[in-house]
Chains A and B, each alone.
Chain A
Amino acid sequence: MPKVKVNDRTVEVPPGTSAMDAIFHAGYDVPLFCAERHLSPTGSCRMCLVRAGAPRKGPDGEWITDESGEVKIFWFPKLMASCTLAVSEGMVIDTLSDEVRHAQSGMVELTLANHPLDCPTCDKGGACDLQDRAYEYGLDAKFYTGPAGEPVYTRYAFTKRHVDKHHPLSEFIVLDRERCIHCKRCVRYFEEIPGDQVLDFIERAVHTFIGTADDGLPSNFSGNITDICPVGALLDRVARFRGRNWEFEQTPSVSTDDASGQFIWIDARSGRIERIRARENPELNDIWISDAARFGHEWADQDRITTPMVRKGGSLEPATWEEALAAMRQGLEGVERGRVGIVLPGDATVEEGLAAAELSKQLESGFLDFEGRTAVPASNFPAASFASVLEADYLLVVGDPTEELPIAHVWIHKRLRGVPMPPRFNHGTPIADLAIREHTPPDPRLLGAFAPHPTRVMAWAEARGVFEPGHASAFFAAFEAVLAGREPTEVAGVEPEAIRRAADRWRAAEKRVLFLGAEVLMDPEAAKLAEKIAKSQGAGVFAMTPAANARGLEAMGVWPTGDREGPRVAFIAAEAPPQKLLEMTEFRVFHAARMSDVVRRRADVVLPAKTPYEKRGTLLNAESRLVGLEPAHVDAGEAEGLTQALGLFADALGVQAPVRFVHQARKRFQERYRIDLDKLEPYGTLWRPRVSLTPRPVAPAEGNLYLRPSMWKARHRLGAVVQRALGALELAAHPETALAEGLDEGATLEVETPLGTLGARLVFDPELPKGWFFLPAGTPAARLPFRALVPQGGETS
């Protein structure tokens, strides 16, 4: 490994390391604006100038020496941008000399020449790279003094450039073109990370600005540019004007918005969540999170239930905990223990799952379920880690990762671009990783993508196809046929050639990863075939479950068993509990954080719940990695966790709950599995429990309205900004199908869904299978009869 001398320290770094990382690795600092972890270094800001030199070898293969016999250092004739300079054996880097400091302060001066310096009103103030460096270099008396030795604040005598200051790039992102320093991080980000090139430099030279021609930044990952912007040019419109950086109480936690368990920072102020930011986890989400995780937190402050409530004379009234307990006692009196149903939310923690499973066992009740459960347990499939995606030779996707497990989309794109797992330095992830290159097109040969509707990843796939909803098993049967050396059996809508090619590549690959969407997990027959293919070929599987903690809850035994009579009473912590359960029960205790229609209409007693942002607990994500939630500083009134609420519910039943507190659950967990949930690894602990559960259908699939997966869950859509950004739900159909129903493009209508009657706008998509309507709402991959209510005279052009 090359030895590099940085000022007075010598370090050894892997070949191909940038000078910048060698400098940080040695414990020195160099200013930078454009380099960023996980992005290609481009050297566009010229901030990281250093003096560098290297020895040379003579024709004899020996190092050339100077007169005194020392190895001679040939200095580069000019200062070099350290982010794009690769180290070589014996390189010498100088970051401290006057020459270097002068050049760097000159760069700060140039960058500031047209910067508005509106830091007092800028949301980035206090967390701004440019501000920090301006403090560091701005008034260096050595370089900037007037004739009398007085400090010079600026040498720029002209009016600053005035351009668009509050330009909304989308409903989520606002751009201040005066603050922009043209580092190009956001432009590179969109191309290299999600692969949606929706932002670019427009015009050139002094007129250059960041702009888009694709309305509203169509990407599921647009928010990350607000994190990486080194100045306050790109700001998050949910968080904008909500506080200064130093006022936030920052809590490192985990997002429960999908099954990936992305690491987040929760920034709260005065008891309210003001902002969500990405938290680095190089094994899971790098420094990126999905837009749903970032912008979809507003529901946590809306219509909060802060005290217990009891139904009195037809309406729910606030009550004390004692009154709530008394009301529960009354309602549960004489109920047979085995006829108590418990439904957890899909993002209930492992601890809560354990508490519920223990209680259910004690009650000898088989009605234990969770929201977003799939027919086939995710635990049936051998888990794969995200890092293994980068090593895979073939990726087969049956589903829509961009919507179902957004961060998987990023890892798939990284794999197709050939980005290796970065090394770790003393300062962590390389800041300027020369192994990442700009404009690397994704390699389509590595990916096969199939789904019941067109997906984003299909654009990168060599083998792709859209099959009809419910035909996933036919697809896997055809796939298996090719693996067995036969001709592919017919799958409506998919070209046999695509299946043949995917299966051939799959067979030829050494390391394979399979992504399964809800469409497969909801279909026991398809899942069985997929499981067989994965297991016989030793492939890792991502089961992209709608529930954030499906693997964790399954591992704890939260799964319906037995064929008993229906429950008579229920403890419901789910947001949208199954209609059937609501109808068959006589008494219902809701554990809810937020007042909703179903709570208002159906609850007999309501216990105030904590949102996932306020919990301490653990999730087992789609990789089967334990990741820990930490409670943010949020004012939640008298809200209690699920474990405590269940304990109270058990009291009302006259039963002593085996687990009443999170720490008890953790103790039991440690006894059982020898893992201390208080001390997880910083990036989460991989844990592959053995779970055996019997598949159990969720609901009969009838009808031609297909609920396609969406990153945006019902609760995200409650936020005002998200609502404005997403607009009406899009009901998509093949033009022929829609016209046959008398519906024209752009028609507004109301559709009956499990979430109630939702307003939607009809869009045509000729690539969709005929005969179906697709709506991104509710439980993914569920099918129900299409009932469109009175078109409200929308614009039927």
Chain B
Amino acid sequence: MRYLKYLLAVIGWACLLAWMAAFLHGGRKNVMDYARAWIKEPLRQGQILQAADQRLVVWSGWWSVDREGIRLSTSRSPDVLFRWARPAKACDLSITVSPRLAMGQRSQPVYAKIDDAPLVGPIDVATEGTYVLRDVGSVGTDVNVLTLWLPEAQRMHAVDERQQALGLRSMSLTCSEDAATP
């Protein structure tokens, strides 16, 4: 019995040491590693990204695409992960959206930012149309994260925390200046 307990202790330590060895060997990935592997092609200047696209970007957050091709965000802060060909800054975001308004609500505020840039906005989305958010941040060649912030999103069902926030038809980014240029 005593030897069995020693064996158990050895198994515990062996697991821990093997795990640490794998960890030090770089065995741990994060979600950005997966996004890097998944997104093969960078977005281009002014390229219109259709909401139903599953190839150029990773849609993070609760999104669902309806029959009309509108991507419904059911998160208050959905993200779009994408790559860009060259470093650039001062990017303008153009989004074609239809608001999801609660009863009595006239418009929905939308903010946006790329990576760690400060939030830009709000723009008040009252009717379906194209809206532009100026200078939402800079982009690099690695995976970039475009975050939308929809503070007045409506709770979809009372029994969960998902928010019905925005219907997105398409979006595009226009970056005016190459960050590498002095």
A binds B: no
Chain A positions near chain B (C-beta within 8 angstroms): none
